[in-house]
Amino acid sequence: MKILIVEDELNLRTTIAGFLEEEGYGCEQANSLENAKEKLYLYEYDCLLLDIGLPDGNGLDLIKELKKEHPETGIIIVSAKNSLDDKISGLDLGADDYISKPFNLTELNSRIKSVYRRLKFGGKKELVFDKLRIIPEYRQVLVSDEPVVLTKKEFDLLLFFISNPKRVLTKESIAEHLWGDFADQADSFDFIYSQIKNLRRKLHEKSGIDYIQNVYGTGYTFNAEVS
């Protein structure tokens, strides 16, 4: 899977690229709109991470062009402005998702995967992880081929974990993934703790495996090896 990162801030760009490469993506970087146009002309990408506040122009113009030429390329807008207007106009122009700075890399990863699934497989692709099978389209989870009933938030949580296996997902990033803007409005950490406990129990009941591990009070990882 090939990703083009369009971002003018060098440090941020390399950090994102480093993270995504570890995840097994092929990453290319562009530091300006001109640079990005060049690369998009020469190569094809599965996903484009587009910072819209570039020094040489607004990235929004690129979206329409790209979607006309390559509709299967996923576009995720990255914005420092957190502005609703940008979000709406970006999505109107054909962008697939929107994430505002500062974001969690694990969140970005799960967004990329979700966009990829949607565009390539129409969301019908099953995600398989060890004994788990997840069908995102129907929000269905099978453990050892037996269906498990999860609440909406538990399902979102599981999908977030499966998108970022073996990674430490911090409490903060989980809260933001589940609640978005609401994360800092209510003390949601206790709630997350209880949700994870429930999810852990439900998965354990059917599979006999404890997939979720606590990491030093920071967050959680999702692993198959540990039993």
Tell me which residues touch other proteins (CB under 8 A): 9, 11-12, 15-16, 18-19, 80-82, 84, 101-106, 151-153, 167-168, 170, 172-173, 179, 181-182, 184-191, 194-195, 215-219
Helix intervals (H) in the chain: 10-22, 33-42, 60-69, 84-93, 105-121, 152-163, 171-179, 189-207
In the complex, minimum distance from the CB of residue 72 to other proteins, in angstroms, rounded to a whole number: 27
In the complex, minimum distance from the CB of residue 67 to other proteins, in angstroms, rounded to a whole number: 25
Nearest by Cα to 27 from 6, 11, 9, 42: 6
Query: Residue 115 or residue 157: which is nearer to other proteins going by CB?
Result: 157
Query: Residue 12 or residue 60: which is nearer to other proteins going by CB?
Result: 12
Supply 177's token pair.
């993934």
CA distance 104 to 106: 5
Query: Residue 144 or residue 218: which is nearer to other proteins going by CB?
Result: 218
In the complex, minimum distance from the CB of residue 82 to other proteins, in angstroms, rounded to a whole number: 7
Q: How many residues make up the chain in this entry?
A: 227
In the complex, minimum distance from the CB of residue 144 to other proteins, in angstroms, rounded to a whole number: 26
Query: Which run of H or of E encompasses 212?
Result: strand 212-215
Buried b (16+ CB within 10 A) or exposed e, 161-189: bbbbeebebebbbbbbbbbeeebeeeebe
Query: Residue 40 or residue 175: which is nearer to other proteins going by CB?
Result: 175
In the complex, minimum distance from the CB of residue 140 to other proteins, in angstroms, rounded to a whole number: 19
Query: Residue 38 or residue 56: which is nearer to other proteins going by CB?
Result: 56
Residues 6 or more apart in contact with residue 108 via CB below 8 angstroms: 16, 19, 49, 76, 99
Query: Which run of H or of E encompasses 213?
Result: strand 212-215
Query: Residue 145 or residue 181: which is nearer to other proteins going by CB?
Result: 181
In the complex, minimum distance from the CB of residue 4 to other proteins, in angstroms, rounded to a whole number: 18
